[in-house]
Amino acid sequence: MGMTEETFQALSNPLAGKYVWGIIPVLLHPKSKGTIRLKTKDPLDYPVLDSNLYSDSNGDDMEEMLVIIDDIFKISRTPAFQIIDSKYMSGSLPACSQYKHPSRQYFKCALRQITYPILHGVATCRMGPEHDTTAIVDNKAKVYGMSGLRVADASIIPFSLSAHPTPAVYMIGEKVSDFIRKEHGDL
Residue ranges of domains in the chain:
5-114, 119-187
71-103 tens-digit pLDDT: 999 999 999 999 998 888 777 889 999 999 889
Phi and psi of 90, rounded to 5°?
A: -160, 140
Structure confidence by residue, pLDDT tens digits, 128-160? 999 999 999 999 999 999 999 999 999 999 998
Q: Where are the alpha helices (DSSP H) in the chain?
A: 5-12, 60-76, 79-83, 104-114, 166-184
Question: What does the alpha-carbon distance between residue 184 and residue 187 come to, in Å, rounded to a whole number?
Answer: 7
Burial tier of 11 (Cβ tally within 10 Å: 0-12, 13-18, 19+): middle
- Are the C-beta atoms of residues 152 and 173 closer than 8 Å to each other? yes
